[in-house]
Amino acid sequence: MAEPHKQALTGKAFLGIERSLTGQMWRDRLDDAARAQALAMVQEWALPDTLARILAGRSVMAHEAQVFLEPRLRDLMPDPLVMRDMDRVVERLVRAVTDREAVGVFGDYDVDGACSVALLVEGLSAAGVPCRFHIPDRLTEGYGPNRDALQGLVKQGMQLLVTVDCGVTSHEVITEIAGAGTDVLVLDHHQAPEILPPAYAVVDPNRLDDLSDLGHLCAAGVVFLTLVALYRALRQQGYWTAQRPEPDLRHVLDLVALATVADVVPLRGLNRAFARQGLQIMRQRQRIGLRALIDAARLNGPVEAWHLGYLLGPRINAGGRIGDAGLGARLLLTTDEDEAERIALQLDALNRDRQVIETSMVEQGEAEALRQVGLDETRGHVIVTAAPDWHPGVVGLVASRLKERFNRPSFALACDDKGLATGSGRSIAGVDLGRAVRQAVEDGLLLRGGGHAMAAGVTLRQESIPAFADYLESVLATSVEKARADQGLWIDAAVTAAGATPSLLQAIEQAGPYGSGYPDPCFVLPSHRLMQVSELQGGHLRLLLRAGDGSTIKGMAFRAAGKPLGQALQDQRNQTVHVAGRLSIDRYGGGEKAQVQVVDIAKPV
């Protein structure tokens, strides 16, 4: 199956736009080879031209098109035992099932952690294993397994401990727990150190000696494969009977899809099948907790991939950020409708509180970032911001906003009264933040740190912040310069307001789901008059565009007010412009019409 699109930067400027009104070059996503593949898809499979362009622009070959459009687990599932140590994990879990050992599950406090915990607890419980789980409080316990929590699970009678979405760097605490006689299994996906903790088994497709080529999985994907292998082993032993039938693991793909999209892992290969088939399960609204969360989020119409990352995921995360970290997992596991509604409404309220906190912190962070990079944004390759009054549970979101605003790796750190700073970093494509953080830990600049290429978490002494910032600048400057030089806005095709038809939107949807490593299609509406620009609450701009034939299309520019895009839109009111954006369905008022989510604007050449 095709890899994510990695086109060489030789493409021509789309519509001749070498510099838009926000300073971006518009690049044609299809080079000559991709255009030839798109033509072959049209001729061989009778695909609509736009659909063929979307696929070819993402390195899908003509002979792969039909399989790619309908990814199935049966075609893409590997043997779980290809992952290092999976055989030991399965052997130990089989023993826990047959001996009815109680299992304690320890997870991370984000969406992937909550889904991983729910998957494993639900999967083991269906096999007759008594389970308890613990998700740490972000403020009082911090990230990863801690001594008190694991010892607490042991005191509650848990005979086997499993860490999910964490644990691969927890050498000290696992050494202590394992040394006291309790077996620990680690199911993780984060980049692993050379020396692994002394657990009974460590399954992590990103450990250095794992050759499975599954490093793109999120933790929930790893847990799902673990359950596949466990159920198969139990089947071979004759464990499943008419009185104790084997559960259908396809029914838990809703959790795998939610984690896969929300954790922003590449939507390629197996992950694409997880997302596609998991969305189909989710649309059936069978899981009581997710049904309640969908209703609390006031989600209209069928669940789409972007809803997982922008509506459902943030609400589950809100518990771990500023509330009870265990709320998300309890919601996903509950079979009580009243409890589901109560938790979903609580998470929805926490998410609103989080948004207020985030807005204030982002304003402070942007002011500090402007001081570092300058008004012309030419200085500094990495942004490092910190403040004593920032909420530790929201710094990751601030880092993400700074990365989006300034287009460079960004860190946001919350400082406490004990002289420590804890925070998160987010990177841009082509800059490996996780590797830099791991090296900083080895060099003694950080007390703790880890992550992957696009995101990382750190803990350091406050007096070390300037040295950490200097270190990042020195080791990442070259890769940041290259990544920024290689960037541009990749355009799939041009379309008019009249051409944004239901059939076009169906073709776009057919090529989905979209996400990390498989970007949403971006279209240009050429030479449309910008008729209306009005600001809405939250800094969003509502637009109306009219083509030369009189047809119109509505648009939205999210969080654009006061930003370069928003200013450009205001300045070009009543002018004829090229508008770049993503097409979506506007279901407001019960109908279904196309609208464009504007990401850039340019003057016709």
pLDDT of residue 8: 41
Residue 273 has pLDDT above 50, yes or no: yes
State the chain's mean pLDDT as an integer: 93
The answer to whether residue 227 scores a pLDDT higher than 60 is yes
pLDDT for 528: 98
Q: Is the pLDDT of residue 10 over 60?
A: no
* Distance separating alpha carbons of residues 280 and 438, to the nearest angstrom: 38
Rounded Cα distance between 30 and 42, Å, is 15
Inter-CA distances, 259 with 269, 399, 404, 512, Å: 16, 20, 22, 17
Task: Decide if pLDDT at 309 tops 70.
Answer: yes
3-state secondary structure labels for all residues of 514-569: CECCECCCCEEEEEEEEEEEEECCCCCEEEEEECCCCCEEEEEECCCCCCHHHHHH
What's the average model confidence in pLDDT over 544-554?
96
Give the per-residue pLDDT at 517: 82
Asked which of 246-260, 366-380, 423-437 is least confident by mean pLDDT, the reply is 366-380
- 411: pLDDT strictly greater than 50: yes
As a whole number, mean pLDDT of residues 93-121 equals: 97
Is 571's pLDDT higher than 50?
A: yes
The whole-angstrom separation of Cα 46 and Cα 18 is 34
Given a cut of 80, whether residue 229 has pLDDT beyond it is yes
Residue pair 169/438 in contact (Cβ under 8 Å)? The answer is no
Question: Strand order of the sheet with strand 103-107?
Answer: 131-134, 103-107, 160-164, 183-187, 201-203
Residue 329 CA to residue 113 CA, distance in Å, equals: 8
For strand 448-452 and strand 103-107, is the pairing parallel, antiparallel, or unpaired? Answer: unpaired
Give 67's pLDDT tier (boundaries 50, 70, 90).
confident
Residue whose C-alpha is closest to residue 117's, from 366, 371, 333, 397: 333
Distance CA 504, CA 50 (A): 7
pLDDT at 376: 63
Fold of 14-57+492-602: OB fold (Dihydrolipoamide Acetyltransferase, E2P) (2.40.50)
Mean pLDDT of 51-66: 93
Helical H segments across 265-309, by residue range: 269-283, 288-296, 305-307
At residue 589 the predicted structure's pLDDT band, cuts being 50, 70 and 90, is low
Query: Can you tell me the distance from the alpha carbon of 276 to that of 75, in angstroms, rounded to the nearest whole number?
Result: 13
Whether residue 219 is predicted with pLDDT greater than 90 in this model: the reply is: yes
Q: Are 495 and 523 in contact (CB under 8 A)?
A: yes
| Phi, psi (deg, nearest 5) at residue 201 | -160, 145
Alpha-carbon torsion, ordered 579, 584, 585, 587, to 10 deg: -90
Per-residue pLDDT tens over the stretch 197-208: 999 999 999 999
Contact 546, 563 (CB under 8 A): no
| Residue 7 reports pLDDT greater than 60 | no
The enclosing H or E element of 235 equals helix 219-236
Same fold, 75-244 and 374-483: no
From its phi and psi, is residue 298 left (phi > 0), alpha (psi between -120 and 50) or beta?
A: left
Residues 409 and 406: their CA atoms lie apart, in Å, by 8
Task: Tell me what pLDDT residue 127 has.
Answer: 97
CATH number assigned to the domain with residue range 374-483, chosen from the 4 options 3.90.420.10, 3.40.50.300, 3.10.310.30, 3.40.50.720: 3.10.310.30
The reported pLDDT for the residue numbered 2 is: 39
Query: Confidence band (pLDDT; 50, 70, 90) for 375?
Result: low
* Residue 535 burial (10 A CB sphere; 0-12, 13-18, 19+): middle
3-class secondary structure for 372-394?
Answer: HHCCCCCCCCCEEEEECCCCCCC
Can you give the residue ranges of every domain in the chain? 14-57+492-602, 75-244, 374-483
Under a CB-based contact definition with an 8 Å cutoff, are residues 25 and 12 in contact?
A: no
Percent of the chain whose predicted confidence (pLDDT) is above 90:
82
Q: What is the mean pLDDT of residues 543-553?
A: 97
Cβ atoms 79, 273 nearer than 8 A: no
Tell me the C-alpha distance between 239 and 246, whole Å: 9
* Residue 103 phi, psi dihedral angles, 5° rounding: -120, 130
Per-residue pLDDT, 590: 67
Separation between Cα atoms, residue 326 and residue 317, nearest integer Å: 10
Q: Is the pLDDT of residue 4 over 70?
A: no
Task: Please write the tens of the pLDDT for every residue from 468-508.
Answer: 999 999 999 999 999 988 788 999 999 999 999 988 898 89
Question: Which is nearest to 280 in space by CA: 308, 247, 264, 304?
Answer: 304
CATH architecture of the domain covering 75-244: Alpha-Beta Complex (3.90)
CA proximity to 476, closest of 521, 409, 404, 547: 409
Q: Which amino acid is at 530?
A: L
- 98, pLDDT greater than 80: yes
CB atoms within 10 A of CB 440: 21
Helix 502-510 and helix 49-56, axial crossing angle in degrees, nearest 10: 30
Cα 364 to Cα 141, 398, 399, 456: the distances in Å are: 26, 10, 12, 21
- Give the rounded distance of the alpha carbon of 198 from its chain centre: 30
User: Helices 219-236 and 86-98 meet at what angle, rounded to 10?
Assistant: 60
Nearest to 605 by CA among 25, 18, 24: 18
Q: Is 470 helix (H, G, I), strand (E, B) or coil?
A: helix
